[in-house]
């Protein structure tokens, strides 16, 4: 069943390859500097590499927007995003898979009664505005620099043609890597919380996580989309907005690639944080917006006639895509659950138990104002949040503590379930701590976390160690799937 449900993610990957490859190599193919076959081969290889190596960064932000907790729900979310992208691809408009998947997730949140993380949503929407603007600025600076260097060096026309061709090829490779790293979250991000794959160790040298296995499959789907259907959209980007010279095509590709890399690089984020600098959010941004912004930026600088009608069509696609995806998601979820009797989400009940109240009190929360809600059962996060807002005004941190403390997620730690957990990913001390909890039951996830942390320091989060904490959080999410009550799947 998981293989069937995963097919929508693969369809979305195909749609992304068919549409977004134009953003990487469209200007090069459209300007006649590279053959389509050469562009398709390079794009396919480096998309897969980028997805597997660096795809995890942007997927975390997308996961915060809404955590799809049932595989049938993930199937519909990916299907809705894929259909909206496919429809725009038929119209030959380069649209954003980032916007499509965000719209589809919001549709799932509305249907399931789950909360939409507005901090993450705001961060994503801001990048939708910043992405084309930043790309246009980078293109403007890079174009002036390249033109200055060409004039200063007095490069012969034939030599310049060859250098530009290689520059486009290298830029396309870099752009393909960045596309895979940044946008694979759109393709497979919703499947990460419900993935049945276990982490595997390859020759004991490195681990291939469950998410990376999904990202590899998504990368292959993107590659197939590149080969089978991307040429039409490439010509819209490469020829439709303005006529591009080879040098301008080179600048557009590199500007687009740099922007995608900035919003996907975990290494860059860690470097900025270590040096006390503001970090760039790891968000799946629109490669379509990046390349269009770069092309328009150069068009404005050069004073050439931009075909604003085509730009208007592309922009309208950016606006309507998330709306269409949200509507398709909501309607299809209704039919899949009520007609085909598939569980599209796992209900998350919220109850202020004695244990939850004690945790809130220890965190400095306003427990005296929560007394009237004590013991009441709320069937969705949205209903619980509404009840909280009717009784008090909370800061975002206070609300987060209360919501996580009250969420009911029953866990049963048995020897049989422990034995099914992938052992290659956990240390001996961590596995020993799991066995020490054998026979215990928990009604909140945080209780399991605290119990493990009491037994072993290797189950405790560390201050100022983001990589370790992210890895530990992934391990906890992994064991939740095995310890959760069978009737809660």
Per-residue pLDDT 10s for the chain (489 aa) are 778 888 998 988 898 888 777 678 876 787 778 888 898 899 999 999 988 887 766 566 666 787 788 889 999 999 999 898 888 777 776 677 888 889 999 999 999 988 888 888 888 888 888 889 999 999 999 999 998 998 888 888 778 888 888 888 998 899 899 888 888 888 887 887 777 776 676 666 667 777 788 889 999 999 898 888 777 666 665 555 556 778 888 888 899 889 988 887 777 777 877 777 777 777 778 787 888 888 888 888 876 667 777 777 777 877 888 999 999 999 999 999 999 888 898 888 999 999 999 999 999 988 988 999 999 999 999 899 999 999 888 888 899 899 999 999 999 999 988 887 766 678 889 999 999 999 999 999 999 999 999 999 999 999 878 778 877 887 888 788 789 865 443
Q: Which residues contact 359 (CB under 8 A, 6 or more apart)?
A: 401, 405, 446
Token pair listed for 381: 């996060």
Token code pair at residue 261? 């890399």
Which tens digit of pLDDT belongs to each residue from 431-475?
999 999 999 999 999 999 999 999 999 999 998 787 788 778 878
Q: What angle do CA 405, 455, 449 make, to 5 degrees?
A: 20
Residue the block writes with tokens 């969420």: 407
Strand partners, 286: none
Instruction: Give residue 341's region: left, alpha or beta (phi > 0; psi -120 to 50).
Output: left
The confidence score (pLDDT) of residue 304 equals 66
CA distances from 256 to 168, 235, 384 (A): 12, 17, 43
Nearest Cα neighbor of 50 from 190, 176, 172, 210 is 176
393 secondary structure, DSSP code: -
- What is the rounded CA–CA span in Å between residue 441 and residue 29? 60
Report DSSP state, residue 33. Answer: S
pTM above the 0.95 mark? Answer: no
Q: Are 42 and 77 in contact (CB under 8 A)?
A: no
The confidence score (pLDDT) of residue 487 equals 45
> CB neighbours (10 Å) of residue 396?
10
């Amino acid at each position: 069943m998981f293989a069937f449900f995963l097919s929508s993610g693969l369809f979305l990957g195909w749609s992304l390859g068919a549409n977004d490859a134009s953003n990487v190599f469209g200007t090069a193919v459209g300007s006649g500097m590279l053959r389509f076959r050469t562009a398709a081969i390079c794009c396919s290889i480096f998309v897969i590499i980028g997805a597997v190596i660096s795809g995890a960064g942007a997927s975390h932000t997308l996961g915060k927007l809404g955590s799809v907790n049932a595989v049938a729900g993930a199937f519909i979310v990916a299907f809705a995003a894929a259909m909206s992208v496919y429809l725009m691809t038929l119209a030959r408009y380069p649209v954003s898979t980032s916007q499509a998947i965000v719209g589809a997730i919001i549709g799932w949140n509305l249907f399931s009664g789950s909360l939409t993380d507005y901090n993450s949503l705001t961060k994503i929407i801001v990048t939708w505005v910043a992405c084309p603007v930043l790309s246009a600025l980078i293109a403007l600076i890079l174009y002036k620099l390249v033109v200055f260097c060409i004039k200063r060096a007095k490069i012969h026309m034939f030599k310049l043609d060859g250098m530009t061709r290689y520059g486009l090829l290298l830029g396309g490779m870099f752009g393909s890597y960045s596309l895979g790293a940044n946008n694979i979250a759109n393709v497979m991000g919703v499947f990460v919380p419900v993935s049945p794959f276990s982490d595997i160790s390859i020759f004991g040298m490195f681990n291939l996580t469950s998410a990376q296995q999904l990202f590899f499959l998504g990368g292959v789907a993107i590659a197939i989309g590149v080969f089978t259907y991307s040429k039409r959209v490439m010509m819209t980007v490469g020829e439709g907005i303005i006529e591009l010279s080879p040098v301008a095509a080179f600048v557009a590709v590199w500007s687009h690639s740099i922007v995608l890399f900035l919003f996907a690089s975990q290494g860059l984020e860690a470097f900025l944080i270590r040096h006390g600098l503001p970090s760039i959010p790891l968000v799946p941004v629109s490669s379509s917006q990046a390349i269009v912004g770069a092309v328009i930026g150069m068009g404005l600088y050069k004073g050439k006639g931009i075909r604003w009608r085509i730009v208007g069509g592309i922009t309208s696609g950016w606006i309507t895509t998330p709306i269409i995806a949200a509507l398709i998601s909501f309607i299809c979820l209704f039919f899949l659950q009520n007609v085909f009797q598939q569980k599209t989400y796992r209900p998350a009940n919220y109850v202020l138990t004695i244990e939850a109240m004690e945790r809130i009190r220890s965190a400095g929360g306003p427990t005296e104002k929560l007394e009237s809600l004590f013991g009441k059962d709320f069937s969705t996060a949205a209903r619980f949040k509404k009840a909280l807002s009717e009784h008090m005004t909370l800061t975002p941190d206070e609300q987060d503590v209360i919501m996580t403390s009250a969420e009911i997620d029953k866990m049963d730690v048995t020897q049989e379930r422990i034995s099914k957990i992938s052992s290659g990913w956990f240390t001996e001390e961590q596995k020993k701590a799991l066995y020490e909890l054998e026979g215990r039951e928990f009604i909140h996830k945080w209780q399991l976390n605290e119990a493990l942390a009491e037994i072993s320091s290797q189950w405790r989060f560390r201050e100022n160690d983001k990589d370790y904490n992210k890895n530990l959080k992934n391990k906890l999410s992994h064991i939740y799937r095995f310890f959760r009550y069978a009737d809660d799947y």
